[in-house]
Copies of this chain bind each other. A is one copy, B any other.
Amino acid sequence: MTEFLEQINKYNQLTKEAEKDFLSRLKTKSFKKGEFINKEGQICKQLYFIEKGLVKQYYHHKDRLFVLRFFSENTIFTVLDSFINQMPADFLTVALEDTNLIYIDYDNVQELSKIDHSFETFLRKIFSNAALYNLKRIKEMFNNDATELYVSFAKNNPHLLQRISLGDIASYIGISQVTLSRIRAKK
Which residues of A pack against B, CB within 8 Å? 59, 61-62, 66, 68, 80-81, 84-85, 90, 113, 117, 120-121, 123-124, 127-128, 130-132, 134-139, 141-143, 174
A132-B61 contact given A66-B142, A90-B139, A117-B117, CB 8 Å threshold: no
Who on chain B is nearest to A120 by CB?
B120
The minimal Cβ–Cβ distance linking A123 to chain B, given in whole angstroms, is 5
Q: Which residue of B lies closest to A68 (CB)?
A: B138
Please give the count of copies of this chain that the complex contains. Answer: 2
Please tell me which one of the listed residues B61, B121, B130 contacts residue A131 in the complex, with CB atoms under 8 A apart: B130
Are B142 and A131 closer than 8 Å at their CB atoms? no
For chain A, what secondary structure do more than half of its interface residues adopt (helix, strand, loop), or is it mixed? helix
Which residues of B sit under 8 angstroms from A174, Cβ to Cβ? 141-142
A141 touches B138 (CB 8 A): yes
Q: How far is the CA of A143 from the CA of B66 in the complex (A)?
A: 8
- Say whether B132 contacts A80, CB under 8 Å: yes
**CB proximity of A41 to chain B, nearest CB, Å:** 16
Distance of A82 from chain B, by nearest CB (Å): 10
CB pair A143–B61 under 8 Å, yes or no, is yes
Give the residues in chain B near A59, CB-CB below 8 Å: 139
| Shortest distance from the beta carbon of A140 to any chain B beta carbon, whole Å | 10
| Those 9 A-B pairs whose CB atoms lie nearest each other, nearest first | A134-B134, A131-B131, A124-B124, A130-B131, A127-B128, A127-B127, A66-B142, A61-B143, A117-B117
Q: List 10 A-B contacts (CB under 8 A).
A: A61-B142, A66-B139, A68-B135, A80-B135, A81-B132, A84-B132, A113-B124, A127-B127, A127-B131, A141-B141
